Structure 1
């Protein structure tokens, strides 16, 4: 009896992983200027000097992490050929949802000798963790580059950026050198730092701008050459994927996803080539998938408020004031057996956050002294898709 996979004989993909989000290309395309800035910022390492601190800014999907990985690997390779350079140790951490203590503790545990006990999760303070970090850095010696991805999500980031870059100059370490590399999706992150941090950080700032359609076509053509069987991906598919992504956010990740999903659409349809019609079909699938991930990344109450806003939109009652949303939200929360937030202020804070994240539109209403001033909110997404995503999430059993 034939099995469910027995009739699968060929695929238009020859190396599908090239189109995956975690693929690290050997060559970085269309980021020559940023690479050149990075190169100058880190060149002191080649001569045994303390590295500059570097801050990278730009929205997701613009190549910040890929360029950083590429530069770290290239630097580690180059120092082996340079007699004046120290050994280079690279440490990479994602700060999203982490406390400062957790981040420093993770660094310490990555530096401890193989058979040493881990630094404790609790019972000691952040100062103790920093002290142990300095001890381990000096024990190992060399140059240490610490990459903090999503650094803008770290609590007490001022302490981190005041302490670590100054560790050698104020005598906390003597046998090693440290450079901080921060990656942020927030272009205004530096403005949130304290004046003393701004004055002492002395970092090189590298801003990653969105890709245009021509740049995205170059990137996609390179990926397509390696991902698909020769002759099975039309130029029209590459051009359409690049145009869609450039018009949206200039996001390379989105463009690559469109090409991959377009290939999957062609495969399911038993088509021998990927063309622009497959990319058009892929667009809705990719948008829905990204929106699903964005919604599921929100807190439980933020998701409930989005579901509430979707119902209000479907009933033709938007925009709505926060008081109206609160009443409807309480009913939605109770329908999911969730205790709702109890204060209007907490609701308003969540609504403001959802507006800042692009989920909601907000309108400022001012009716003078008699009517007062207030905000009205309206869903800035397709309400049906939001409701379907929320239904999927509620139907999925908890892990």
Structure 2
């Protein structure tokens, strides 16, 4: 069996790395984000004249181009300032999604500012803040700290207070600097102290989800960089855009489909068509569902299994909360590995399934009362595959008909 395609002349990729999440293009596709980038540039314009830039909160859903736009704008500003005599500019980027706490984020920033020093667990928060302040003061000219996914971080007040109030902070006295932070959740500001909240959200740039047409433009732009000429069908690009639109206009998802489709084409006839994209979508869904379900507690997986029993065995198309609770109680009673949780906890677990994108819920109301119905976001086979190991190890005891479906 031949595992690899070693014929370089039939490879569909020209530069596969340009489809990765951390790839920063020289420019964004067409005019898809021109207005938002102009707003960012306006906030940073004071740097050109040696003044302090505004702090900016960039908000929008996942895959809406926030991170790429911020990095492109910072790269352009850095390039253009080089031609202005007497004006200097530096920027540092940290990724909040890689950390849980303000302490961890501050330590990461300190390490970026002091590449010859290794700040590890054990340094006090105040020592790390001092290291950040000293590192920023040592940088040339005005400084912008870009924080990606700020809302993922707990207890970030101390760092933000230092960075956003440099003009009144002795540690950064005289330093012209600003913060550009991206977030998917603007409500996180409610958890900040009043002093920080008043400075971080004064200027907001909002990114809406990409439309299907915008996604096609993004994909066509990236295809030119990533793929050999003529190796991707236009219909495959349209299908990627349509599937990504169903996922909330997520450009990262669309690019992942294109990348996986290219991988499949490399093992086939060397062309990305709708067939390869459909296979890529199925592969992504299977891996996505499995990765989420594997992180759930056993009780949460039992609730998911109860939902699948109603769908697959009882033929209930859109199970209601009360139906799922009753089915869960029956299923949990058959299982010996976990105690039965309360009705309220089951409802909370169902909301977790919705929050993770595995189920879609709809609220209904009539004169009889109010209830929620749940529908799957993916094909049933992916949920059953994700539950297989629990059934094989007798941690979950579903109805025998569902066991047959899971094990077939």
Please give the TM-score of this superposition, normalised by the length of structure 1: 0.79
C-alpha distance in structure 2 between counterparts of 1:348 and 1:186, whole Å: 23
Shift of 1:28: 0.9
Give the corresponding residue for 1:22: 22
C-alpha distance in structure 1 between counterparts of 2:41 and 2:96, whole Å: 23
Give the corresponding residue for 1:257: 256
Change (3 A) 1:352 1:245: closer
Change (3 A) 1:104 1:16: closer
Partner of 1:85, secondary structure, is: coil
Q: Per-residue displacement from partner, 1:16-56 (whole Å, max 9, x unpaired)?
A: 33333333222211211111111111112222222211111
Q: How does 1:179-194 map to 2 (within 5 A)?
A: 179-190=178-189, 193-194=192-193
Give the corresponding residue for 2:223: 224
Moved more, 47-56 or 303-312: 303-312
Give the corresponding residue for 1:167: 166
Give the corresponding residue for 1:319: 320
Residue 380 (str. 1) matches residue 379 (str. 2): no
Moved more, 142-151 or 187-196: 187-196
Q: How does 1:179-328 map to 2 (within 5 A)?
A: 179-190=178-189, 193-201=192-200, 203-270=202-269, 272-296=270-294, 302-303=300-301, 305-316=303-314, 318-321=319-322, 324=326, 327=329
Give the corresponding residue for 2:405: none
Shift of 1:283: 3.2
Change (3 A) 1:344 1:15: same
Q: Per-residue displacement from partner, 1:159-213 (whole Å, max 9, x unpaired)?
A: 4434431133232322533322211122544455454433333532111112222
Moved more, 191-200 or 144-153: 191-200
C-alpha distance in structure 2 between counterparts of 1:72 and 1:53, whole Å: 14
Unaligned runs of 5+ in 1: none
C-alpha distance in structure 2 between counterparts of 1:290 and 1:362, whole Å: 19
Change (3 A) 1:304 1:39: farther
Aligned residues of 2:96 and 2:153 also touching (Cα < 8 A)? no
Aligned residues of 1:138 and 1:173 also touching (Cα < 8 A)? yes
Unaligned runs of 5+ in 2: 393-408
Aligned residues of 1:210 and 1:251 also touching (Cα < 8 A)? yes
Shift of 1:388: 0.7
C-alpha distance in structure 1 between counterparts of 2:79 and 2:234, whole Å: 36
Shift of 1:366: 8.9
Aligned residues of 1:240 and 1:279 also touching (Cα < 8 A)? yes
Please give the TM-score of this superposition, normalised by the length of structure 2: 0.77
Aligned residues: 384
Moved more, 154-163 or 59-68: 154-163
